[in-house]
Amino acid sequence: MGNAISADRNQFIGLFNETYSRQMPPSYYDWRFCSPASRGGVLLAGGNEQLGGTCGYHLCDTRVPRASTSLLVVDLMVAPELRGTGLVFARLRLEIERLAVESGAECVFLFPNRAGAAAWLASDGWGLVAEIATCESASREKPLSTGLGFARVSSFGDWVDSIEAEFALNHPELAFVKREARYLNWRFASHPVHRYEVFRVDRGVRPLAYVVLKVFRDSGTGQSFGDVVDMLWAEDDPELLAGLLRFARARFYEMGVWRVTTWLQTHTLLDDLGRDEGFVETDQIRHFCCKVLDTRCRWLADAGRWFITMGDAEIY
């Protein structure tokens, strides 16, 4: 058991592409685990130069509501010949929990599928915070002007830090991964595979929000989906929030993408507005699992206290 280094890149990518249908190049490893902005790393299990399994992680600056740290688990994989025993998973889980405690994290969390969730939830102290259903709507032609300006940008600037600070002031009850420029530029602008579109939303000269979009093409079916991956706003204005969703649907319509998906798991006005705008739940589910490490923060096991978007999960 040990921390991976850049020399482990090829073994990791080989196991990743053997495990998942979504294929990744070696640059994915460098971006996710070797970039300083990611605050990430990966544990390797194995011996005799044979990779038995991996467990990646990111230390996330989190508002809970004060500034804090949480640990996001990503890319937990077991070599095919060792699957089904539970031994590699158990060792990796214990090591990642130990690392989280040593790092001062208040919780460990992840977004597995149903099978992955069952393994984590069978472990001591882990709980299911929420089953998050992907919501879907049809794309639509551009709506009437709302007085908002949508400017496509290649990166996030200082303006987003102001939006994040205002959102936190308006929602002291919510825990969320901090959306600051350094993190967002790593997460979206620097991604080696996905091509996100980032839009700054202005009213007059004042930046009020941002929205991140991505087209996903299912290699199995050939269908295209427009993912509304992430958004944040400075004012709880229903017209502003509805405007973000309407713009996203119109943008995908322009691109010839007819199905738009998102998560409505923010516990803000956006969730009800999204349903009012025609987004309905599908049977596509991710499981939000969490282990609270600091007993003073047991409330982190309450789904209603989290602001979550697709962008918080590594698969989007």
Give me the CATH number covering residue 262: 3.40.630.30
What per-residue confidence (pLDDT) applies to 3? 62
Q: Would residue 273 count as lying in a domain?
A: yes
Neighbouring residues of 212: CB distance < 8 A, sequence distance ≥ 6: 188, 196, 197, 198, 199, 228, 229, 230, 231, 311
What per-residue confidence (pLDDT) applies to 67? 76
Neighbouring residues of 141: CB distance < 8 A, sequence distance ≥ 6: 250, 253
Does the structure show a pLDDT above 90 at 233?
Answer: yes
State the pLDDT confidence band at 310, using cuts at 50, 70 and 90: very high
What per-residue confidence (pLDDT) applies to 73? 98
| Same domain, residue pair 52 and 186 | no
Q: Would residue 197 count as lying in a domain?
A: yes
| Same domain, residue pair 242 and 150 | yes
Does the structure show a pLDDT above 60 at 171?
Answer: yes
| Same domain, residue pair 48 and 168 | no
Q: Which of 85, 105, 125 is the last residue of a domain?
A: 105
| Same domain, residue pair 97 and 151 | no
Q: Would residue 293 count as lying in a domain?
A: no
- Quote the number of domains for the chain: 2
The pLDDT tens digits for 75-90 are 999 999 999 889 999 9
Does the structure show a pLDDT above 90 at 186?
Answer: yes
State the pLDDT confidence band at 232, using cuts at 50, 70 and 90: very high
Q: Would residue 98 count as lying in a domain?
A: yes
Does the structure show a pLDDT above 60 at 4?
Answer: no
Residue 151 DSSP one-character state: E
Q: Would residue 220 count as lying in a domain?
A: yes
Could you tell me which of 256, 255, 259 has the C-alpha nearest to residue 278?
Answer: 259
| Same domain, residue pair 89 and 176 | no
| Same domain, residue pair 155 and 281 | yes
Q: Would residue 304 count as lying in a domain?
A: no
Q: Do 167 and 234 form a contact (C-beta atoms < 8 A)?
A: yes
Q: Would residue 115 count as lying in a domain?
A: no
Question: Among positive and negative, which fits the CA dihedral 174, 132, 14, 217?
Answer: negative
| Same domain, residue pair 99 and 158 | no
State the pLDDT confidence band at 304, using cuts at 50, 70 and 90: very high
| Same domain, residue pair 145 and 248 | yes
- What is the distance between the alpha carbons of residues 267 and 68, in angstroms, rounded to a whole number? 20
| Same domain, residue pair 144 and 100 | no
| Same domain, residue pair 56 and 154 | no
Expressed in angstroms, the distance from the first to the final Cα of the chain is 29
Q: Would residue 227 count as lying in a domain?
A: yes
| Same domain, residue pair 278 and 192 | yes
| Same domain, residue pair 142 and 280 | yes
What per-residue confidence (pLDDT) applies to 80? 92
- Parallel, antiparallel or unpaired: strands 280-292 and 149-153: unpaired
Does the structure show a pLDDT above 60 at 1?
Answer: no
- Its domain, for residue 244, covers 134-285
